[in-house]
Structure 1
Amino acid sequence: MRLLGIFSFMKQFFVCLFMLILITMGCQRTPNRVTIQVDDEQVIISTNAITVREALNVAGITLNELDRVEPDLYAQLTPEMMIQVMRITETITTELIIIPFERRIIPNEALPEDEQQLVQIGSNGQEQITRKITYQDGQEIDRHQVSHEIVQKPVEEIIAIGRKAGLSDIPIDGIVAYISGGNAWLMSDHSSARRVVTTKGDLDGHAFSLSPNGERLLYSRNITDVITAPLNELWQVDTQIVGETAISTPLKGVLYAEWSPQISETVIAYSTAERSPGSPGWRAYNDLWLWDTKSNIETATEIVPANTTNLYAWWGTDYYWSPDGNSFAYSNASQVGIIDIVTKTIMPLMDFTPYETNSNWVWLPSIAWSPDSRFIATVIPSNPQQFDMWIIAVDGSMQINVIEQVGMWSNPIWHEDGIIFGQAVNPLRSVDSHYMLMMMDWDGSNLHRIFPIAEEIGLTFPDVAVARNESIIFVIADNLHLLDFNGLPPQALTIDGQSHQPQWVIPLTKTVNVSVTTVISD
C-alpha cells in the first residue's frame, strides 16, 4: 500500500509538471517582424523586443541627438511594423550683405546758387546675417535667421548745392551759434544775417561753446584720422569781426570745453581724452581743468585728476558749469554729483544702475542748473527702461522725483521761469521714441506742452537753447526753429537739414569785472 501511494504521488507530480511546461510554452511571445527605414536602407528584423527603442537597439542602430523616429521610441511593437529613422542635422551659416549707401543733397547758403560740392564721400556698409539650416536625411527642411549684425554702417554721400534761403527774416535778440555741415555758423540780430565762421567741415561737436558776452566761440576740430594723432584740436575765434582768422589753442584731445559763465570770457574748463582704434574712437581721461586762455597752458589748474574709477570710464564724464561759476555738476554712467572748484572736492548726489546699451556707446544723464546755482535737474533711471526727472539740492538736502517716465533723452533746460524738457511719447521705449517739448514751474507745477502745438510727430532729440524767458531756439528735423510762447507755430531759421547744437547768448548791457585769479589758483 505504501509503494502504491508513492507511485500515485509521482504520477500526479509529473502530470502537473507536464501541464506547466505546456502552459509556459503557450505563453511565450511570437517574435515580431519589423522593418526599419534608416540611412536610405531597409533593415528587417524579427525580435521579441517590446518597444521601438528596444528594436533599434537589437538592430544596432544608434540615434543622434537631433534624430527623429516614427512611431515614437516608446511605442509598442506590432507585427509588420514600419519604423522610420530620420537623420536630422543642423548647420550655422553666415553671409555678408552689402548695405548700399544713400545719397543726400542739402542746400548750402555758403555756396553760389546751384553750385555743387561733395561734402562727404559715400561708402557701402556690411550686414552679417547668421542663419540656422536644418536637414532631414540630407534634404533641407528649414532655414531661419538666428541673428543679424551691422558689421560696418553705410556712410551716406552728402552733396551740398548752393541755395539762397527762402525764409522769412526773423528778428533775434543777441547772438546764435550753431553747427551745420561740420562748420560753425553765427546769426546776429535777425535770421537773415547768418554767416559761416569755419569752412573746413571738420567740427566734431565735442566742444562748442559761445562765451557769455557772445564775443568768442570755442570749438573742437577733427584735423586728421591718423590713429597716432590727437583726437582733435581746440580752436577759438572772435565773433565780432567778420572774416576774423581763428586761433588754434595748445589744447588737443578735448572731450569737453566751455567758457566760464562769468563775464570774464578768457577762462575755460576742459576735459581730455586720447584717440583709440575702434568705436567710439576715444578713451577718456575723466579729468577736469581750468585755464585762462590769455596765459600759457602750463598755468592750467587741475580740478579733477585723470581717473578710471567710474563704470564705463572709457566713455568719459559730462561736466556742467554752475551759473555762479563756483562749482561743476558732473554725470557719468552710474552717478551724478557736484565738484567744488575752490576745494576740489567731489560730492556724489545720486547713484544708479548703468543703462545697458548693448552697444559701443554709453548713456549719461544730462544736467541743468537752476539760475541761482542751488539745484540741478537731471534724469535718472529707476529701472532698465524707466527714466524719471529729479530735482536735487546741490548741498544734498533735497531730492525730489518730480516727473516719472520722461525718457532718457529728456535733456532738461532750466531758465528763470521754469524748466523745459522733452517728454518721450513712448516712455518705456524712450531710446528711440519721439519727444514732446514740455515746460513746468520749478516745483513741477503748471506742466504744459509747448511743442508740438498740434498732433505732430514731435522731436527725435530735444536740442534746445534758451536765452530769454519768452522764447526758445530748438532743432526740428535738423533745422533751427524759433518758438515764442504765444501759441503760434515755430518759425524756421535754417533750411540746410544739418543744423544742431544751438548756443544762444543775449549779452548783458552792464559790464561786470570778475577776478578769476582765486578761481584758478592752486
Structure 2
Amino acid sequence: MIESVEPNIFGPCWPAIRGSGMKTISILSVRSRSGVWTLVILPFLIACLARPIPVTVAVDGQRRTFYTRGTTVREALAQAGISLGDLDRVSPPETARITPGMVITVTRITQTLEVQEIQIPFPRQVLKDARLAPGETRLIRRGEPGVEHVMIRITWADGQPIERQEIHRERIRDPVPEIVAVSLQGEVASLPVSGTLVFLARRDAWQIVGETTRILRRTNLGDLDGRIFTLSPDGDFLLFSRASLTSTRTVLNALWGLYLPADSPRPQPVGLENVLWLEWSPQGDRVAFTTGEPSPGPPGWRAHNDLWIGRWKNGRIEARRVLTPTAGGPYGWWGMAWAWSPDGRRLAFGRTDGIGMLDLESLKATTLLTFPVYETRSAWAWVPALSWSPDGRYLAALVHGPPRSGEPPEQSTRFDLWIVAVDDGWARPLVEDVGLWAGILWSPQGLFFGQARQPEAGDASRYDLYWADHDGSDRRRVFPPEGEIGFGGQPDMRWAPDGQGLLIRYQGDLYYLAIPSGQVYRLTAQGDIAAMAWR
C-alpha cells in the first residue's frame, strides 16, 4: 500500500530530500509476517544513501582524486567546484555515468585572433623588342610586391595551438608588375611567305613580305577600326575601314583602299561610309556589303539589314542596293552574317533565328534552317557562323541547339555544327555541342572549327581548334599546343594560298599550322594583332 510518512524517519538524508522541493514523501510499504518492510523509491534518497565513488579529475595541469556521490560527470565536476568555459572539452562526456576509478579530463579551450602581413609576389611582364640583340634583356620597370592583411583565428588547447583558420583577407596594396624587354630573335620562325599576307596592329596595316622576318608598315593613319579588313582575291587591293575623325557628321566609319603592288602604296577613300560587313566575291570582280547607322546606346550601331553589290572602278566602289532595309528578325539591330558561294552566284546568310540563301540573279531568298533565338541578356546578339564547301554543294553552319535540361529554348547553351546540302534539300548535325563561338572554315583538306572546353558555360568558355573530315569523322585537336590557354572567342583562321597550311590569329599574334604534319610555327611577336588577311 502507499502511505505518507514523516520527514524524521530519513535522518541525515532529509536535507537532500528537502532541497528537491517535495513536501510529502511517498513510500511503498510491504507487510511481512515479522513486521513492515518499507521500500523508498525516491531517487534523491537513493543517491543520499549510496556509497561515495572515487574519481580522478585532470584539469589545469593537475590531477585530483576525490569521492563523489554524483551520478554523472557533470555532477562530479560541480561537486569538486570545477567550472567549465563555453569551449572547454570534457572526456568522458558530461552526461556519462560515474564509475569507480574513472578519470575525467578537462581540456581548456581558448581562441585568439592574429593579423599577419603577407607579401604578394609581383608578376613579370615580357615585351618583345626587335631593337635588342639576340639574348639581350632590358629592365623597363622594377616590380614591387603587393601587401595583404590576413586575420587568423588560433585555437589553443591547454595553452598549446591546435588549429589556425583564416577568417578574413584584405588587399592593402596591389603588386606592381616588373616589365622586361627581350629580343625577338629565336622566338619567331623564319619561313617563306607566299601570296600577300597583311595584318592590323596598333590601328594600322602591316604586310609580311617574302618571309616572316620582313614586316613593312603599309599605313600610318592610326585609326583603322578593324571592322573591315579584307584583301581582293588576287592580293592586290586591301580594303579597310577607318573610324571617322574628320567628318562633320556622325558616321560609324569610312572605307578606304590600298593598292599594295605600288612602289609607295598610298591609302585612298573609296566613297563608302557606315559599312558593317564587306567581302570580295571569290572571282574578285565584285564586293558585297551591308550598312548601318550610329546608335547612341550599346552596341553603338543599328544595322539596316540591307545588301549592296558593287564593283571596283578607278579606285572607288560603285554599288547598287539589291535588298532594301528590313527589320532583320529578332535582335535585327545587330545585323546578319553573310558568305559568298564559291561560284559567286549566291550568298548564304545567317540571322539570329535561322540560316538561308540568296540567289543573286533572281534575288530570291530561301530559308534553309530555323532555330530559337539565343537570348544573350546583353547588348550583343548571336548570329551563326557560315562556311561553304570548296565545291559549293554544301554549307556548314552553327545552329542553336535544344535545351540541355528543361531550360527555355532561347536560353539553351547548346550549339551544334550542321551540314546543309543547299541543292539536295537535306540537313543534319555533323558535330554536337561545339559552343556558340565555334567558328568554321571548310578547306580542301577538311573542316576546321572551334570546340568549347566548357560548352555549357555559354560565351564564357575557352576554345580549342579542331579538324575533322568532311563527314565529321576522325576529329582531332590541332591548336593551341598542349597546356596553352584556349581561344577567348571565335577562332580566327585563314587557309594558306598554296594549300599547305592554316594561318591562325591567337593571343594577338600569327601562327602557322602546317598540313598534314601538324607542326606549329609562330610568325610574329606583336601581341596586339587585331585582324589579318591572306591571299
Per the shorter chain, which TM-score range?
0.5 to 0.7
| Residue pairs, 1:20-169, within 5 angstroms | 167-169=188-190
Shift in CA distance, 366/225, structure 1 to aligned 2, threshold 3 Å = farther
Q: Is the 8 A contact 1:110 1:162 kept in 2?
A: no
**3-state SS, counterpart of residue 201 of structure 1:** coil
CA contact (8 A) 1:218 1:258 kept: no
The equivalent position to 2:323 in structure 1, one of 304, 315, 328, is 304
- Equivalent residues of 1:228, 1:275 under 8 A apart: no
Aligned positions of 1:363-442 closer than 5 A: 363-383=382-402, 384-395=412-423, 397-442=425-470
Give the aligned partner of residue 332 of structure 1. Answer: 351
1:243 to 258, 264, 289: 264
- For structure 1, list consecutive stretches of 5 or more residues without a partner in the other structure: 1-103, 115-158, 506-522
The match for 2:532 is: 502
The residue that corresponds to 1:341 in the other structure is 360
Q: Deviation at 1:454?
A: 2.7
Q: Distance in 2 between matches of 1:455 and 1:296?
A: 47
Is there any run of 5+ residues in structure 2 with no aligned partner, and where?
A: 1-124, 137-178, 403-411
Tell me the percent identity.
33
Q: Distance in 2 between matches of 1:334 and 1:419?
A: 24
In 2, Cα distance between the equivalents of 1:201 and 1:297? 22
Q: Relative to structure 2, which stretch is displaced further, 219-228 or 271-280?
A: 219-228
1:278 aligns with 2:297: yes
Counterpart-to-counterpart distance in 2, 1:204 and 1:343: 35
C-alpha RMSD of the superposition? 3.1
Tell me the TM-score normalized by structure 1: 0.63
Aligned CA distance change for structure 1 residues 403 and 298 (closer, same or farther; 3 Å): closer
CA distance in 1, matches of 2:221, 2:464: 34
8 Å CA contact retained: 2:272, 2:317: no
Q: Is the 8 A contact 1:212 1:261 kept in 2?
A: yes
**Correspondences of 1:453-468 after superposition (within 5 Å):** 453-461=481-489, 462-467=491-496, 468=498
Which has the higher relative contact order, 1 or 2, with Cα contacts under 8 A spaced 6 or more apart? 1
C-alpha distance 298-216 of structure 1, shift in aligned 2 (>3 A): closer
Which deviates further from its counterpart, 409-418 or 217-226?
217-226
3-state SS of paired residue (1:234): strand
Deviations 1:107-160 (A, max 9, x none): 57799xx9xxxxxxxxxxxxxxxxxxxxxxxxxxxxxxxxxxxxxxxxxxxx9x
Taking the aligned partners of 1:346 and 1:262, their CA distance within structure 2 comes to 22
Say if 1:453 and 1:487, in contact at 8 Å, map to a contact too.
no
What's the counterpart of residue 506 of structure 2? 476
For 2:349, the aligned partner's letter is Y
Provide the C-alpha distance between the structure 1 equivalents of 2:240 and 2:183, rounded to a whole number of angstroms. 26
Partner amino acid for 1:463?
D
How many residue pairs are counted as aligned between the two chains? Answer: 358
**Alignment-mate amino acid for residue 438 of structure 2:** S
Matches within 5 A, 1:163-312: 167-224=188-245, 228-264=249-285, 267-294=286-313, 300-312=319-331
How far 1:475 sits from its partner (Å)?
1.8
Task: Mark the CA change 1:162 to 1:342 in structure 2 (over 3 Å): closer, same or farther.
Answer: farther
Deviation per CA, 1:304-341: give whole Å up to 9, x if none.
21111411111111211111111111112112111111
SS in 2 for 1:191: coil
Does the 8 Å contact 2:242/2:256 carry over to 1? yes
Pairing partner for 2:379 from 354, 360, 367: 360
Contact 1:391 1:401 in 2 (8 A): yes
Q: What SS is found at the alignment partner of 2:472?
A: coil
| Secondary structure of 1:172 counterpart | coil
Change in Cα spacing, 1:375 to 1:423, as seen in structure 2 (3 Å) is same
TM-score, normalised to structure 2's length? 0.62
Q: Does 1:446 align with 2:467?
A: no
